[in-house]
Amino acid sequence: MLLYNVTVNISKNVAPDWLHWVRTEHLPDIMATGLPTRHQLLELLTEIDNGGCTYTIQLIFPDQATYDAYETIYAPKLHPQMQRRYIGNIYTFQTLLREI
């Protein structure tokens, strides 16, 4: 099992819009690919005040091949949507973790 984690720091003034967009459009589009088995949207509670809100989007994949298919086929279209929509108000980084 692999967990693909996207950490997002978003400006407070657009955070409500971002949350609505992620819940109603972005995550449904990701799950419609049929590749992640589930997802979570979490808020980071322990952080230094940096003027923004920090969240993580976590996608669960059953194996490396499924994750690779997602990254090759769907990520090039889906990932830039967030950056374009919230340009100047968002910082993201990704990590991939394996269950041991």
Q: Kindly report, residue by residue over 60-99, the tens digit of the pLDDT.
A: 999 999 999 999 999 999 999 999 999 999 999 999 999 9
**Parent domain of 68:** 10-52+64-98
Residue 50's pLDDT is 74
Cα gap 15→9, rounded to integer Å: 9
Beta strands in 1-100 (DSSP E): 2-11, 38-43, 52-61, 90-98
Residue 58 resides in a domain: no
Q: How many domains does the chain fold into?
A: 1
* pTM of this prediction exceeds 0.85: yes
Distances in Å between the Cα of 23 and the Cα atoms of 17, 26, 29, 72, 79 are 10, 6, 10, 23, 15
Do the beta carbons of residue 27 and residue 39 sit within 8 Å?
yes
- The amino acid present at 36, given as its one-letter code, is P
Report yes or no on 37 lying in a domain: yes
**Is residue 2, in this structure, part of any structural domain at all?**
no
